[in-house]
Structure formats: C-alpha cells, structure tokens
Amino acid sequence: MHAQNYRYFVSKDEKTMSTPTNYAGIDIGSNAIRLLIAHVVETKNSIEIKKNTLIRIPIRLGEDVFTRKIIGNEKKITLMNALIGFKHIMAAYSVIDYKACATSAMREAENRGDIVRIVQEQAGMAIDVIDGQEEADIIFSGSEIAAITNDNDYMYVDVGGGSTEITVFCNNKKVAARSFPLGTVRILNQGFDSERIEELSCWLKETTALHRPSAIVGTGGNINKVQKLLNKKAKEALTYSEIKHLYRKISGLSVEERIQTLKMDEDRADVIVPAMHLFLTVMDESNIVRVFVPKTGLADGIVRQLYMKHSLTD
C-alpha cells in the first residue's frame, strides 16, 4: 500500500501557541542524505534555527552515478527506505511542511526521473532536483554571511560529494557564481580531473582579480570536521597554514589510521583529504588565507525558506 501523498503533517488549526512550529529540510547529496527537523526563533535582527534532530545516512549515491551514470538497485532501495523512515520521523515531530532537494549525483543520474517518480509513488514525497547555483542560494543570504566574517566582501565555498559551489559577494551582493563538477566522492571514484582543476583555477584568478574577496565562508561536512580537529570556536577563522599542516598530517595516514587515531567515521575518513585539497586550491588561487565555518548547510537553508514562506502566508 502506497503512502499518502501529503505536504502537511499537522494542520494550522491543530497547532497550539505552546508548541513550536517544526519544519523539515531533506538534503539528498552525493555522499549522504540528511534530515533536519527544526523550528525557527525570530529576533529583532535575525532568525535563528533551533535544531530538534539531525539524521545523516551515508548512502553515497555518487559511487554509482560517477562510475555507472545511474543509481543502482541497491542504493535505490536504501534511499527509499531512508526517505520512508524520514517521513515517519517528520510525522512524529508534527512537522507542518518539508522540502527535499537532491543535488549533484541525482542531477547526473540517467535514471533520476524513475527515482523521483518511485519516491513520489511509494513514499508520498516530492523531490526537487536543483542545480548548483540554486543550492548555493538556498544555503545562505548575504547578511548572514557578513555577520560571520565582519566583512562585506567574501567568497562562499561549498565542497560537496559531487560538486563545488562558489559564490562571490561584494557589499553583500552576489557578483559572481559558478558550480564545478569537483566533489569528494567524484574524486575518489574518478580521480582529480586536471582540466576541471585548471578551469577552477582560471576562474578564481580572473574573478578575485576583479572583486578581491578577503575571506572564505566554507560549508560542508568536511570543513566542519576540519574546524573540530583544529579545536576552533564558532566564528573563529581557520587559517591557510593551519589547514595545510592538518592536510599533510591526515593525508599521510591511511583511512584505517584516520578512523583509529583521529576518531573519524568511516565515511568521513576517505573524503576529507580531497575536500581539504579543494579548499587549499581555492585559497591558493584566490590568495585568501582565512576560512570561516558557520556549520550550516542545505537543510538549514531549506528550513529557513519554509519559515519565510509560511511567515508571508500566516
């Protein structure tokens, strides 16, 4: 029996003033899929996302797509089971609205239409397959980034499993953006693409010569892990020399040694090296020595969008 296709789990009439209004964001990435359930607290100057639960499942759709061009049956079943489970968890949290976004691996999967259709039929869940720029736009607004860096000129860099998204802001306005098919799972399966790396380098040199951002805002699970390994506090910058030193240390260890000595999860221990390599490449070519890590991602951005949508209609 197919699940009912519904968007709301609790009607607005059923909400009480004492119960937080929960929203859910689902990020279907190349390395992992994530469910974030959160409510939003609005202050005079900003809105703050209060996380109720975050679930991450390292399905690695990119392992199939970047080698076979399709999502195979095993990963398709795992994805379906995870999303059906997410649906039940959202109901338990009385989520009133959700959105599921799929990124690089799903974009490139030749059978993505079948996957989206099956998920709709069997899980009653709609999936939006978004491009790299939309992904970047969902994650952040300029004012929030400026509050982190204390600077109006910065570069947003998200290194994912299938792609790297870069957006340059000047005076809190987007002036340049590009998505590159360079991601950690893709690199593990295909190796570094020298042509793509050269394309990235040329674009960075030309763009930063025009706009000169002074800092990077980095997102993604790997740069979050780097921040933790460097014992950095929130809003404290990671420096180029610190990242380079850690990169040399980690790349000199086997995956097993990273798991044992650095207490990394297995699905993090292999992708962190290509992720750090990409961040160092971006810093080298743009001549930027600071990275700020706000620990936010696509799922957070989805929750923020849902909150804003409902704020306008309430």
The predicted-structure confidence for 120-150, as pLDDT tens digits, reads as follows 999 999 999 999 888 888 887 644 665 677 7
Which residues of the chain, if any, have pLDDT below 70? 1-19, 45, 141-147, 314
State the fold for domain 12-133+299-313: Nucleotidyltransferase; domain 5 (3.30.420)
CA 275 to CA 293: how far, in whole Å?
A: 14
In the chain, which residues fall in CATH 3.30.420.150? 141-295
pLDDT in the model for residue 229:
96
pLDDT of residue 312: 77
Model confidence, pTM: 0.87
What CATH number does the domain located at 141-295 have?
3.30.420.150
Which residue spans of the chain are classified as CATH 3.30.420.40?
A: 12-133+299-313
The whole-number pLDDT of residue 197 equals 95
Q: What is the model's pLDDT at position 15? A: 46
219: left (phi over 0), alpha (psi -120 to 50) or beta: beta
Q: What pLDDT score does 6 carry?
A: 40
pLDDT at 215: 94
Backbone angles phi, psi at 182, to 5 degrees: -130, 105
Instruction: Identify the three-state secondary structure at position 27.
Output: strand
Q: Would you report the helix, strand and coil content of the chain in percent, each value rounded to 5?
A: 50, 20, 30
What's the confidence (pLDDT) of residue 20? 77
Beta strand pairing call for 47-57 and 216-219? unpaired
Residue 73 φ/ψ, nearest 5 degrees = -60, -40
